[in-house]
Structure 1
């Protein structure tokens, strides 16, 4: 999967988890979150600009990016970031990502690979019904997205890669522990057993 496609999948997956938040504050959150994946602010803004309503029509909003005067966003009171075309495009990118991921783990069929990780993650996100607030549910979606990248990425697992989610996990451990077990087992297997796993 191309670097640009991977970054776009990250951007759109994040924005999809931010309903009724079509504003610059969300763009700032996206940029902050993107730093964890080594995506710089100019790169993210450039992709947002290319995908906006005026250009590729993947996003409902239009961006005016000026590196001197800053960024302006025109949303026309949109309730979600992705247009129907954008949602279809994100599905296509996720499919590409899943296809690319299966090549990283020889010996397993594509069906097994997809079912495995998708199953783990959908079990985890189904916990959202038990969470008390919309903010907690959004954090769960961000957490699941980060876990998906760790499960499907070939980069070396870093100590403390999920540190920023510690308060969230601590608060919701009772609900999260059961669906997280297979995910933690898979990540620890790579970290503790496959010492050559460093991409």
Structure 2
């Protein structure tokens, strides 16, 4: 997956969660989160302009960028940041990342901590053949990508990080349980137990 695609997936995935919040406060938060992924403010802002209503029509809002006076946002009173074309575009980006992740899995390399859970994630992706609808297949791919990020990210886990997938998981738990169990155990361990260094600091 190309660097620009990853950047766009990061931006659009965040904006997609900000319903009824079409304002510059969200843009400032996006820029702050972007710093954790080594994206600068100009990186984020230039992508927002490229994807706005005047250009690619991926976003519902329009931006005017002035590096002296700042950024201006013009909203059409939409409830979502992404247009229907934008949501389709984001699904394509997530599908592309899912395919890259799937092709890079090396289940036999259990000694490498970065790939310790790739086997389970690979099994999880393989469950798409058991999904009853195309929508569930796409959701499974998005869910696997989010799990991959949670397992490889050193940041503290947040409560409710996977809430949006709850109906999907409950509907398909029988098919997903086997590869999901060790992943959930690892995420629970990280969430419930403090590290030795944190205990010593107290």
Q: What TM-score does the superposition give when structure 2 sets the normalisation length?
A: 0.62
Query: How many angstroms apart in 1 are the aligned matches of 2:126 and 2:35?
Result: 29
Number of residue pairs aligned between Structure 1 and Structure 2: 152
Query: How many angstroms apart in 2 are the aligned matches of 1:52 and 1:182?
Result: 41
- SS of corresponding position for 2:99: helix
Query: How many angstroms apart in 2 are the aligned matches of 1:102 and 1:64?
Result: 39
Aligned residue in 2 for 1:27: 27
Consecutive unaligned residues in structure 2, runs of 5 or more: 108-118, 128-138, 161-176, 190-202
Relative contact order: is structure 1 or structure 2 higher (C-alpha 8 Å, sep ≥ 6)? 1
- Tell me if 1:162 matches 2:156: yes
Check conservation: 1:120, 1:183, Cα contact below 8 A. no
Query: How many angstroms apart in 1 are the aligned matches of 2:74 and 2:68?
Result: 18
Query: How many angstroms apart in 2 are the aligned matches of 1:101 and 1:119?
Result: 13
Aligned residue in 2 for 1:52: 52
Query: How many angstroms apart in 2 are the aligned matches of 1:112 and 1:50?
Result: 37
- SS of corresponding position for 1:72: strand
Aligned residue in 2 for 1:91: 91
**Pair 59,75 (structure 1): closer, same or farther in 2 beyond 3 Å:** same
Query: How many angstroms apart in 1 are the aligned matches of 2:71 and 2:59?
Result: 16
Query: How many angstroms apart in 2 are the aligned matches of 1:94 and 1:113?
Result: 16
CA shift, 1:104, in A, is: 2.3
Mean CA deviation greater in 33-42 or 49-58:
33-42
Superposed CA RMSD in Å reads 3.6
Aligned residue in 2 for 1:137: none
**Pair 90,36 (structure 1): closer, same or farther in 2 beyond 3 Å:** same
State the Cα deviation string for residues 12-50 of structure 1 (Å, max 9, x = none): 011000010011000011111111211111101111110
Query: How many angstroms apart in 2 are the aligned matches of 1:52 and 1:111?
Result: 35
Check conservation: 1:52, 1:59, Cα contact below 8 A. yes
Aligned residue in 2 for 1:13: 13
**Pair 38,87 (structure 1): closer, same or farther in 2 beyond 3 Å:** same
Check conservation: 2:61, 2:73, Cα contact below 8 A. yes
Aligned residue in 2 for 1:139: none
**Pair 44,148 (structure 1): closer, same or farther in 2 beyond 3 Å:** farther
- Summarize the alignment of residues 1-199 of structure 1 with structure 2, pairs less than 5 Å apart: 1-107=1-107, 112-114=123-125, 145=146, 147-151=147-151, 158=154, 161-162=155-156, 165=158, 168=159, 182-183=182-183, 185=185
